[in-house]
Structure 1
Amino acid sequence: MAKAFFCLVLGCLLSGVLPTAAASADGSELKLCYEDQDSYPWVLRDGSGLNLQLLGLVEQAQALSFEFVPVPWSRCLAGLERGAYDGAFASSYKAERLAIGRYPADADGRLDERKRLHTSSYALYRRKGSQVDWDGKAFRQLDGRIGSLSGFSIVDFIHAHGAEVDETSRDPLALLQMLRRGRVPAAALQSLRADFLLQAHPQLAATIEKVKLPLEEKAYYLMLSNAYVGAHPAMAEAIWTEIGRQRESPEYQVLMQAFLARPEP
């Protein structure tokens, strides 16, 4: 027996793959990986972020223990596939990822957006009375560069749709003030953050409005490993259901407002 085990371990070392067992036997302790880059306001490299706060509420409500591991995203997904991690977040839906893990599903086996961690939505903001518009496919009546925060993914989206970008600001409040003063004809911002700032600054809300159609919108989920769902199907469903419940809870809404009110890193 000992010789056989030694041969197994030796074979794994030579192949570069070690057997892993992330979850505890009863499924209450989970190792969850996430990308080790800032994705404000959902996860930040300093260990904060709304996704982490939401999962903390889930952890408490279900008497679970989560270990959060920041790693490069490709490594996170690879680890999920081989069972080194019980879950990975925040993952948008891609059909090819069904081979490496599970998304929350409804009774008919369809993706259940009610159990998402969050929806990341970007919108175009303009001065009231402006003719600048977004029709869902192209920018209209645009004269000048669209203001956006430096380093955010929406910049690539704007370029892909034929517009130029002013990235001189890394602060959303400063960017809205630039828009109000006419330094940019429009601004592309995360809706959650920009709407909160407009609500908090009535002088900006009096002169700025959001274009109705979003620029880009995606739901993001906690994926769970095939191994975890196979071993603990009821627990997996409880976790996903609790995510949806806690996301809409008054407690999370308070945490969200407090987090968004902080100065952005």
Structure 2
Amino acid sequence: MMSRSVGFGCGLFILASRVFACEISLAYNSDPSPPYYVGVGDISPDHPGAGVELAQLAAAKIGCTVTLKRLPTRRVIAETGMGKYDGAFMFSYNVERTAMFAYPMQGEIPDKSRRIATLSYSLFRLKGSSANWNGETFSGISGPIGVNMGWSIGKDIQALKVPVIESYNTQENFIQLRLGRIAAYATQDIVGDAIIQREDMNDVERLPIPISSKDYFIIFNKTYYQKNKERVEQFWTAVGSLRESTLQVLIKKYSND
């Protein structure tokens, strides 16, 4: 009887090993970006967000599991780049990052069909402020524009000859804005809108014209990619497929976060 139990247990272990033949470690931002990831801090909650669930489903589709770690953006980039984690999300294409990270590519350009999402950046200002963006140029800017530390939008704004100042996270930038230490704050629509609603910031508004819209990807450090190229390519393809078929269902699940 005991030998049968042992044999049955071994069979289950072998079956589980075949079903989930690999483990992928992914790091992502400790700030919330609903509905893609929710909650604050270094713990990944049971209700993690639509983007996190999409990554988990994509991994399962290719026979893998995902382990998650939340960190500030710069640590996500630094620690994933040095190999502590296999990959990271969500990041727009950045030529400088390609020295450390692999993106899903189609020839010489990122493959947007395998993106996890497309997000817009907008300018947030105090109501009554003269700070403005008309889709091409800034005007009425009386000081630096705040951005999150390590976010690519900062370089986009600097390219337009407007000074920026980095703060640690979204919360700190809104504090700086309300204290009058920055002229405006540039961040992702979904991030800024969520904080304004959560904190009941009736004195802050988002301008209607986005500064830019960017495709976002799950990226992998180059060492991991080179050793597991087929697996990563399959994972990216699964992300693209599930984004089309499943993401909107997941987003509805998080509509109140």
TM over 0.5: yes
Mark the structure with the bigger radius of gyration.
1
Give 5+ residue unaligned stretches, structure 2: 1-16
Would the alpha carbon gap of residues 77 and 165 (structure 1) be closer, same or farther in structure 2, given more than 3 Å must change? closer
Superposition pairs of residues 212-227 of structure 1, within 5 angstroms: 212-214=209-211, 217=214, 219-223=216-220, 225-227=225-227
Q: Is 2:25 aligned against 1:32?
A: yes
Deviation at 1:218, TM superposition (A): 5.7
Does residue 192 (structure 1) correspond to residue 199 (structure 2)? The answer is no
Pair 246,46 (structure 1): closer, same or farther in 2 beyond 3 Å: farther
How many angstroms apart in 2 are the aligned matches of 1:111 and 1:155?
18
SS of 2:218 mapped into structure 1? strand
Is 1:74 the counterpart of 2:78? The answer is yes
Task: Tell me, yes or no, if the aligned pair for 1:126 and 1:211 is still in contact at 8 Å.
Answer: no
Flag the 1:155–1:104 CA change in 2: closer, same or farther, 3 A.
closer
Residue matched to 1:123: 122
Q: 1:225 is paired with a residue of what secondary structure?
A: helix
Aligned position for 1:249: 248
| Counterpart Cα distance in 1 of 2:64 and 2:133 | 44
Residues 140, 53 of structure 1: alpha-carbon distance in 2 compared, 3 angstrom cutoff: same
Equivalent-residue separation in structure 2 for 1:219 and 1:54 (angstroms): 13
CA-CA distance at 1:93 after TM superposition: 2.8
SS at match of 2:192: helix
Supply the distance in 2 between the matched residues of 1:236 and 1:188 (Cα, whole angstroms): 32
Q: If the length of structure 1 is used for normalisation, what is the TM-score?
A: 0.55
Q: Aligned partner of 1:191: which letter?
A: D
- Secondary structure at the residue paired with 1:249? helix
Letter in 2 for 1:190: Q
Read off the aligned partner of 1:193 and give its amino acid letter: V
Q: Residue 243 and residue 111 in structure 1: after superposition, are their counterparts in 2 closer, same or farther (change >3 A)?
A: farther
Alignment of 1:119-198 (within 5 A): 119=118, 121-126=120-125, 131-135=130-134, 138-143=137-142, 148=146, 153=151, 160=158, 161-163=161-163, 171=171, 178=178, 186-196=184-194
Post-superposition CA distance 1:78-110 (Å, at most 9, x none): 43xxxx86x41124434576676643245x674
Distance 1:254 1:172 in 2: 28
Indicate the larger mover: 87-96 or 127-136: 127-136
Unmatched segments (≥5 aa) in structure 1: 1-23
| Structure 1 counterpart of 2:207, from 205, 210, 232 | 210
What code does the residue aligned with 1:77 have?
A: G
Partner of 2:58: 58
Q: Is the 8 A contact 2:55 2:239 kept in 1?
A: no
Q: Contact (CA 8 Å) 2:22, 2:63: kept in 1 or not?
A: no
In the alignment, is the contact (CA less than 8 A) between 2:170 and 2:192 conserved in 1?
no
Q: For 1:191 and 1:216, locate their aligned partners in 2 and report how far apart those are by CA, in whole Å.
A: 10
Q: What is the alpha-carbon distance in structure 2 between the residues aligned to residue 159 and residue 188 of structure 1?
A: 9
Counterpart secondary structure, 1:213: coil
* SS at 1:122 equivalent: strand
For residues 143 and 101 of structure 1, what CA distance do their matches in structure 2 show?
Answer: 37
Identity %: 16
Change (3 A) 1:233 1:162: closer
